[in-house]
Amino acid sequence: MELHTLEGQQIGQYKLLAWLGEGAHVHAYLARNVDSGEYRVIKVLKSNLTGSQETLARFYQEAQAALELDHPNVVKVYGYDRAGDLLYLVEEFYEGGSLMDRLKAHPEPQPLDFIVRTLEDIAAGLDFAHQRGIVHRDLKPENILYDRDGKAALSDLGVTKYADEAEARSREGLAFGNPSYMSPEEWQGKPTDARTDIYALGVILFEMLTGELPFEPSKTNSVMFVHLLHLMATPRSVRELRPDLPPALEAVINKALEKDPAQRYQTAGELAAAFKAALASAQPEQPRAEQALQPAERAQRQSESMPASHRPAVPIALIALFVALLGLLYWWWQSQQGSEESDV
């Protein structure tokens, strides 16, 4: 049975009312408890993650750990169970939808007070999880949910770790997560820790501030291109897109997006505090000598004053050209293969 066809059926005490969508590991449903009438979200793990006894044991272990994550900024997991071949979790229902819902409905820059409140809430949830050894590793706007009062909470903590490790055993060497929010270490298959989530949070902050992504001038379907951007390019300037923001804020975003985890903020709370301090700082008046410079001269001076890690070692245009050349080589190779087969 296809998991998205479970709508209208009952699993345990829960009637599945509507299919909400799917992620990398689960199908999500809005459900109602047939006894209490309370609304919950039921997340059913995809069948490719439930095939072995080892996988089942790991699911129960991680689900139990998720039950113990009791924090106002972490989506509450109420329970987990098995119904036939289906493994599922019961989670708190957030009526306000996700940050992704908001960004799609309002793709322009978000209000600063909304950004600050979201950051404070998510930083508190992340620090709580990180202090307990749990790294999200798939932080993105879809996993930030809001209640009716606007409080933000993290979704998919704990089980994300389980599902990635289960799938990794069958697809060793591949990276997981949404490409636009993945850190360089994830792309390279290196160990991840709390600073991996700091990087993703930096991408999200850039997107909320500007309405755009830091490395991608436009949405692209080329995973290879996005991969190279995160590994080699520097983020676009926040202040080029939002000149009304103080210069200190750009420095905060750049630090969160450092390629080297050691150069990033080490905790989400540290990032949140720096972000708020930067917003509170007054934008200094530009010296007259600087005002008189031509744009090219001003850009050159700014580049020279940047730390080396913030200078654009490889322009995005060159990365795009490199990807295009790879595509042409692949096309040529395919055509050669076809010619050889026809000759035979």
Q: Which residues are catalytic?
A: 138
Kindly report the number of other CB atoms within 10 A of residue 236's CB atom.
Answer: 18
What does each C-alpha distance from 226 to 79, 107, 268, 338 come to in angstroms? 37, 20, 24, 29
Query: 198: exposed, middle or buried (C-beta count within 10 Å: 0-12, 13-18, 19+)?
Result: buried
Total length of the chain: 344
The distance from CA 43 to its chain's CA centroid, rounded to whole angstroms, is 19
Contact 256, 201 (CB under 8 A): yes
Helices (H) and strands (E) in the chain, counts: 13, 8
The Cα 282–Cα 83 span in angstroms is 58
* Sequence-ordered list of residues with C-beta below 8 angstroms from that of 327, at least 6 positions apart, any chain: none
